[in-house]
Amino acid sequence: MKILVVGGAGYIGSHMVKRLGQLACHVTTLDNLSAGHRDAVLCGEFVQGDMADLPLLNQVFAQGRFDAVMHFASFIQVGESVVEPAKYYRNNVVNSLQLLEVMRAHGVKRFIFSSTAATFGEPQYVPIDEAHPQQPINPYGRSKQMVEQVLADYDKAYGLKSVCLRYFNAAGADPEGQLGERHDPETHLVPLVLQTASGRRSHISVFGRDYDTPDGTCIRDYIHIADLCEAHWLALQHLSHGRGSDAFNLGNGSGFSVQQVIETARQVSGRTIMVQEAPRRAGDPARLVADATRARQVLGWQPQYADLAVIIAHAWRWECART
């Protein structure tokens, strides 16, 4: 298969590019390197450019003759989206719409979309299944929900088939040690904790210990990056076999608290991890846990790295290689 991976130099996209290469796909990565890294693209062709560049998009599609597109090129910081909503709606919505229009013009009708649990907003119940109301509470979540709605309309009107994958907390690193998480600035808990363990940070902040959870800290559903990529491949197979558009929640179905992550990181690394107590952050739900039953049943998805210690061990090896 010939696949275009938009945003393939970022954290999730680069792992996906590697996986597609292992599956003998012909991969082209399009990335503007605003958040990604050229050296993270381990196989296939690389084009430096932006979804906003219409002539470039048309050129890439004309040359590529793609069977499908995977889209990872979104801005993802919730706090920034509140302060700069225009940036998020322009890139995550307007540029995505342009990408879909170029797909239509070149007859490409399979699309895998990187969505998010943020489309659900404050959970009304947990674990969160696909029937949970989508009521996003920030521009980031709304931008993703908008694209999901666009995709539903494009299917009905144009026959463009898509799978939206709403993941919870992507974590870990390439099991073979070639790739990992390197956002700038880093905002995700696992790499922040491990940067504290390695000495690159002085401490990790725990935002609130008075939540209605067993140890008082927030609970999140961490999904290994390799399992996430496998779900994307299965979603593509789903469309390639002629099945209809769909949306799936991706998670392990068992959450881990902030304190559990810190304690597991201490055990895995054998290092001291200094903790600083901080007030709750606005909009942090006590629990966010996925019900991924449909992904298992419909896609045949079976996470291989559900154990928190394994997720952190892979991320720790990546952190050690960088320090």
Q: Note the pLDDT of residue 290.
A: 97
Q: Say if pTM beats, i.e. exceeds, 0.95.
A: yes
**Has residue 109 been placed in a domain?**
yes
What's the structural domain count of the chain? Answer: 2
Of the CA atoms within 13 Å of residue 316, those in its CB half-sphere come to 20
CATH number where 257 lies: 3.90.25.10
Same domain as 239, residue 90: yes
* Residue numbers annotated as active site: 140
Q: Which residues contact 24 (CB under 8 A, 6 or more apart)?
A: none
Residues of the chain with pLDDT under 50: none
Same domain as 164, residue 56: yes
Same domain as 189, residue 150: no
Same domain as 90, residue 72: yes
Q: Note the pLDDT of residue 254.
A: 86
Q: Note the pLDDT of residue 184.
A: 86
Q: Note the pLDDT of residue 203.
A: 97
Q: Note the pLDDT of residue 74.
A: 96
Helix pair angle (225-240, 11-22), 10° resolution: 60
Residue owning tokens 């991706």: 250
Q: Note the pLDDT of residue 174.
A: 98
Q: pLDDT per residue over 192-205, tens digit each?
A: 999 999 999 999 99
Which domain does 217 fall in, by range?
Answer: 171-221+253-290+304-322
Residue owning tokens 């990872």: 72
Same domain as 282, residue 228: no
CA dihedral 186, 192, 290, 142 (to 10 degrees): -20
